[in-house]
Structure formats: structure tokens, C-alpha cells
Amino acid sequence: MESISELNRRHGIPNQVSFCQDANGFIHVDVNNPQASARIALQGAQLTSWAPKGEEAVIWLSKEASFLKGKSIRGGAPVCWPWFGPHESQGDFPAHGFARTALWEISGVEMQADGTTRLVFRLPETSFPTNQWPHATTLENRMTIGSHLEVDLVTRNLGSQPVTIGQALHTYFQVGDIRTIRLLGLEECVYLDKVEGGRKIQKGAVNFTQETDRIYQGAMQDILIEDPLMQRQIRITKNGSASTVVWNPWIEKSEKLGDLGDEGYLHMVCVENANAAEDRITLAPGAEHHLWVRYSIAPVPR
Ligand code: TA6
């Protein structure tokens, strides 16, 4: 792994992009451009902070998040790949795949003409555990940081056989109070209810009164997180994702998880662009798939 000074020499941009290492040896990329600030951990190429200038942080990070090598970070935008949830047959394989706890490399940083910063991370072949994933695939996480945030998760199949992957951008959004927000854009969608079981149809806006863990299927339109307390809407526009996962652990599950902090669940909601369950994708040899999303902020209409 390159040293911090080497990373800053090769990829740093004065007053805009810099690399630092914390006491646990975690390497972070800090972005500060005229439109926004952000932080990304090299482990998992995981965005852990994003705030457009003049806005409260849009991405939630637990106050109890532990930055320990090989351990998942509670919050931010974890990359779940090449499976979502528990592995279908190997109980000892990590939940949500190995990409989010693996060490990635940064392969490109550039200031864009529109004032945004583009960063490209790649998962090096050495980070693929062949016992868990004996396939010739590559994975890139391409981010554009500005007053909006774009993420493009690119999978390539370099092998001679088709390969099936499950994936998600498991993003935690900061909200004023989970009990007062609404999600718009999932109306009439079928979802798998992982708390109460079964398939249901979403009637009206999604609101939160208990543990909520759902995989919506076929939701292609934009989703709005309407937050009256923070007086804003977060718009989620996506492409290449047939599933949308909505999750809040609520009180009891939060206590079991132990790393959301006191009442942390009140201030987060996960809306995840995914290809999960029946929506997993099969890539033909030589094929490429893009899981793309854009987050943007608008004031709540009065
Ligand atoms: O995306 C929702 C979910 O699959 C929940 O079932 C819960 O397990 C959550 O992800 C968090 O998983 P993690 O492994 O990050 O604790």
C-alpha cells in the first residue's frame, strides 16, 4: 500500500483533495471543493461524509462507528458486493459480501470543469478472496463530489463464464427524526417485507413506526426523502438497479447491533439502490454493469 505522502504526491490536489491516516491506520480521502466537502475511507471505497456547501451533512455516520481494519463501518455508503445480505449457502462468508471491508486503491482523481471532483477507486485483484469468489471480475467505484453526489459502481466480467452478482449501495441518510419523514416514489411497488414476512404492495408514502426492512422490486422512478424537520428533500435518481432496499432498525435491533449510538436510529434511514433477491444480475463474459445513482438536495416545498 502506498504511503500517505506518496498518495498525496500522486493524487492530491492542493486545497481540494488530500489523504490522511488515522490512529487505526485507516486511510481517508478528504475532498473540499467550492460545492461540497466529503470524506471517503480507502477501506471499502466507502463514502463516510458528504455535505454540499451550506447544507447539513446528507450522509449519516454513527457516532459509534468503529474504523477497524476488516470490519464494516456503521454509516456512510457501504458497497455491498458481490452478494447482498447473507451468502446464499456459506454462512461463514461475510454479510453483504467482501467489498466493503476490503482495501481498495485509488486509481484517479480529477477536478472537473464544472467544479466537481471525480474520484475513481478500484478493488485490486489481491483483495478478492478466491475461496469466496473464484471469478475473474473487476470492480470500480466512480464518485463525483459536488452539490450533488454521483456514484457509479462498475462490475466487469473478464471470465469465460457468466457470473451472477447481488449488490447494493447501502447508503445511510441523515434525517431530522425518522418518525416524521416520508419516502415518496415507491407507491404501488411490490416489496419483500423482511420483518413481517411476505410480499406486499406499498400504499401511499413510506413512513416509519417500527423496524423496517424491505426490498422493493421494480422501483425505477426517483425516490424523495421528505424531511420536514431538516426542511429538505433528498432526491435519489438511479439507473441499473431493479431493487430498492429501505431499512431502519428501530429501537430493539439498534440495541442488538450496538454501534448506532444512543437513539442513532432516530436520525438515519437507509435507502439503498440494489440488485438483490430475484433481481440479482447475471453478467455474460466480457459484459459490464453500472449501478448508478445521484443524490441531490432541494428545500421542502412550503
Ligand atoms: O439493508 C438492510 C440490511 O440487509 C438489514 O437486514 C441489516 O442487516 C442491515 O442491512 C445492516 O447490515 P450490516 O451487516 O451492515 O449490519
Domain boundaries, the chain: 4-298
- Choose the residue to mutate in 48, 247, 272 for probing ligand 1, maximizing ligand atoms within 8 Å of C-beta: 247
Q: Residues near 62 by Cβ (< 8 Å), separated by ≥ 6?
A: 74, 75, 259, 260, 261, 264, 268
Can you spell out the DSSP letters for 63-115? TT----TTS--SBSB-EE-S-SSS-SS-TTSPTT-SGGGSBPEEEEEEE-TTS
pLDDT of residue 300: 77
Buried-state track 31-53, b at ≥16 Cβ within 10 A, e below 16: bbbebbebbbbbbbbbbbbbbbe
Rg for the chain (alpha carbons), in Å? 19
pLDDT of residue 50: 98
Q: Which of 11, 87, 96, 170 is catalytic?
A: 170
In this structure, CATH architecture of domain 4-298: Distorted Sandwich (2.70)
| Whole-structure pTM value | 0.97
Q: Which atom of ligand 1 is nearest to the CA of 272?
A: 1
58 CA distance to ligand 1 middle (Å)? 20
pLDDT of residue 145: 98
pLDDT of residue 1: 80
Q: Whose CA is nearest to atom 8 of ligand 1?
A: 85
Catalytic, 170? Answer yes
28 CA distance to ligand 1 middle (Å)? 23
Catalytic, 6? Answer no
Surface-to-core class of residue 5, CB atoms within 10 Å of its CB (0-12 exposed, 13-18 middle, 19+ buried): exposed
Give the binding-site residues of ligand 1, using a 6 Å CB cut-off: 72, 85, 95-96, 170, 194, 213, 245, 247, 257, 270, 272
Buried-state track 225-245, b at ≥16 Cβ within 10 A, e below 16: bbbeebebbbbbbbebbbbbb
Backbone angles phi, psi at 56, to 5 degrees: -65, 155
pLDDT of residue 302: 67
170 CA distance to ligand 1 middle (Å)? 8
Residues of the chain below pLDDT 50:
none
